[in-house]
Amino acid sequence: METSDVEETTERKTPPKKIRNYGGSKEKLERRRAAVTKYTVKEMEEIEACKLGL
């Protein structure tokens, strides 16, 4: 039996979509972006920190 690759779907192959901030709070923007990219807000913060080289 072949094992399904359900576990591998947690990692996204495509880059996250850019979302414009339509006058909302930064926290709300982060939450919406996290929802689109299927990452949690905490994971998004870690990714942003890596991009900034912290």
**Domain-wise residue ranges, the chain:** 23-54
Structural contact between residues 43 and 34, judged by C-beta atoms closer than 8 angstroms: yes
Determine how many CB atoms are found less than 10 A away from the CB of residue 40. Answer: 12
- Taking the C-alpha atoms of residue 43 and residue 51, their distance in angstroms, rounded to an integer, is 12
pTM recorded for the entire structure: 0.27
- Give the pLDDT confidence of 1-54 residue by residue, as tens digits: 445 444 444 555 666 666 565 566 777 777 776 667 666 667 777 878 878 775
Structural contact between residues 16 and 36, judged by C-beta atoms closer than 8 angstroms: yes
- Taking the C-alpha atoms of residue 37 and residue 50, their distance in angstroms, rounded to an integer, is 17
- DSSP letter (8 states) at residue 3: P
